[in-house]
Structures are given as structure tokens and as C-alpha cells.
Amino acid sequence: MATINEVSELANVSISTVSRVINDNVPVKESTRKRVYSAMEQLGYQPNLFAQGLVTNRSRSITLVLTDLTGSYFGPLVKGIENTLRAAKYNLSVSVGNEGLSEVQSTFRYLIGWRSDAVILFPHCLTDEQILGLKETAPPMVVLNRQLPELSQQSIMVDNEQGSRLAIQHFLDNGHQQIACIAGPLGNSEALSRLEGYRAALNENAIVHQDNQVVVSDFTVEGGYEAIGQLLEQGTEFSAIYACNDQMAVGAMKALKDAGKRIPEDVSVIGFDDVEFAGLITPSLTTIRQPIAQMAEDAAKLAVRLIEGKTNLPVQPLYSPTLIERESVAPFKG
């Protein structure tokens, strides 16, 4: 294994200069920096990250804290964050707990003890007040899929309400007016925004909708399946189903098929997220795409900027969703 002495000899610089390049805490001429990196690469030298952290007071580690890891949304999210952080020479760790505040608080205390430089939090069912309470004791924090005025520069979120409007408008353009909605848990602000977008789009188009056209579920395949059972059992009329994520959409499609309904000939279906399997099922799922890769990259870059103490951060805009048309929607035939 190569040593720092061998790097300094090959690069023809002092050991202290090699240390400054590795720790990146003192300005070094660019030509010197390139010589040191070239020597490190030739020798296969790996810096001692623990020792480096003692010098810089940084662990070069960022933790993604999830309160849930079910569903296909999270794979691309974690991959996008990890790829961006690796390019910036940071390590990613992932902590997954349940949806309770106490477990997340415990995770944060652990992270502080182990000197995680920053946290990217996917809060799921945590309330706004609980998130702000975590901020008081956390390392620099980026929040995914929640928009708080107090954290406007540290929040990454898609425009959920606009996504619902796109879905409902696509149904309306295809002649559907009896549109049922399978909503996510209403303690989740993301789910609530999608439901509000559904209702607003119908109201703006003077479409009368009934309370029994909305079933509150849990963002799972099983929840989507059970929601269709509830709609059919109570005799709700619908020619289209808007499921507020792709997992529930898939469950809904399975339940409709089991009930003898054809998709899209009898019932049209739209989901939300555009996870990987959405284009692979039969019929392929029309859905609302979140720019997950872009949101993951921006969350990682924002976390690094916070670690570096940059305070001139712009307010993060809502990310725009897009409608992805596939095979699960057909014109209403009466």
C-alpha cells in the first residue's frame, strides 16, 4: 500500500503540500494540485479518511434519512444522490426507520455523535413542526418532498398539485367525467397536495364529484387493490381512476382485472411518479413523472453547499411534473 511519503517523492513536493491537497483546507497552485493527484493515481494511494476528518473537522459523509423504504421511488432517488456525492468525494450513508418522530430523533442524535456533515431528510409523515424541531439539533439539513417557508432554501419538492391537474386534464380531454381518486395518507402533505389538485381540477372544469369517489389509502399496491374493492362495493360510478402513486395504480389495475374490468376499454387509469415498472406492465401505465434524478442530484449538491457554509442559496423552485402517456387511458365511450 502506497504511503504519503511516496506520493510526495513522486510529485516532487513536501508531505505538508500533499496533506493540504488531500484536506483541501489551504490554497494550493493548480499545477501542484494536479501533480499530487497524478501521483496518487499512479501509486493507488488512498487517503486515511479518519485522519483527514480529524484535520478538517469533517467526515465527508452525508446521511440520507428515510422514514420509509417501500416502493420503487426510492431506488433511483438513492442512486442519484450517491452518484452526485461520489463525484464530490463524499460518502453516502442511508438510515431507514419507521414513520415515528422518536426514531428519527434517535437517528439524528446518532448522526451528530458520528459527525455526519449533513443530512438529507425524506420526512414522509412527519409534520412541519416536527421537521423544524429536528432542524434545531441537526447538522445542515436538506428536506426532500416538503416545502417549508422556514426552509425555503433547503427544500426540494415537485409540484404535486400541478401533477394532479395534468392527470385530471388528460382524463377530461379523453371525455371522462366520472373520475375516482385513490389518495395517499392525508397526514402526508405530499398526498394532501395531490388530492387538492384533483379536486381543484374538477371544480375548475365544473365537474361535479362526490365524496364517495375518493378513497384514502396508504401508497402501497395492497392499498390500491383494496381501494377499488371499496369503490365497487359502495356502488361508486367511475370510468377513470386517478391513483396518487404508481404502486396504488398497479394495485388498482389488478383489482379491476379481477373484477372483470378491462383497462383501458372499461376503466382508464393514471398513476403518479413514473417508477421503473410503470412502462413494463400490461397495459403500460400512463402516469405523472417526477424528475427524480434531477431532484436527487440537486439535493446532494445543496447538501454540499450547506456543508461549505455557503449562505447565498437561491430559494428552491417547485420541480415541474410531466404527463407520460402510455396505454392505460382510452377515450370514454359512454
CATH of the domain at 52: 1.10.260.40
Please tell me the distance from the alpha carbon of residue 110 to that of residue 247, in angstroms, as a whole number: 32
Structural domain contains residue 196: yes
Q: How many helices (H) and strands (E) does the chain have?
A: 12, 12
Q: What is the pLDDT along the chain (334 residues), one digit of tens a residue?
A: 678 788 888 888 888 787 777 766 667 888 888 888 888 888 887 765 545 554 445 568 888 888 666 667 788 889 999 999 988 888 888 877 655 566 666 666 665 545 678 889 887 767 778 788 777 766 788 999 887 888 888 889 999 999 999 999 999 999 999 999 999 988 788 899 999 999 999 999 999 888 899 999 989 999 999 999 999 999 999 999 999 999 999 999 999 999 999 999 999 999 999 988 999 999 999 999 999 999 999 999 999 998 888 767 777 788 999 999 999 999 998 7
Distance from chain centroid for Cα 3: 40
Of residues 308, 232, 280, the one with CA closest to residue 56? 308
Number of domains in the chain: 2
Please tell me the distance from the alpha carbon of residue 99 to that of residue 218, in angstroms, as a whole number: 13
Listed residues 274, 290, 306: the one ending a domain:
290
**pTM to 2 decimal places:** 0.79
**Element spanning 235, H or E:** none
Structural domain contains residue 223: yes
Structural domain contains residue 189: yes
Structural domain contains residue 109: no
Domain range for 10: 4-56
Structural domain contains residue 334: no
- Report CA-CA distances (Å) from 224 to 183, 242, 326: 9, 11, 20
Listed residues 56, 80, 98: the one ending a domain:
56
Query: 57: exposed, middle or buried (C-beta count within 10 Å: 0-12, 13-18, 19+)?
Result: exposed
**Cell 413523472, residue?**
289
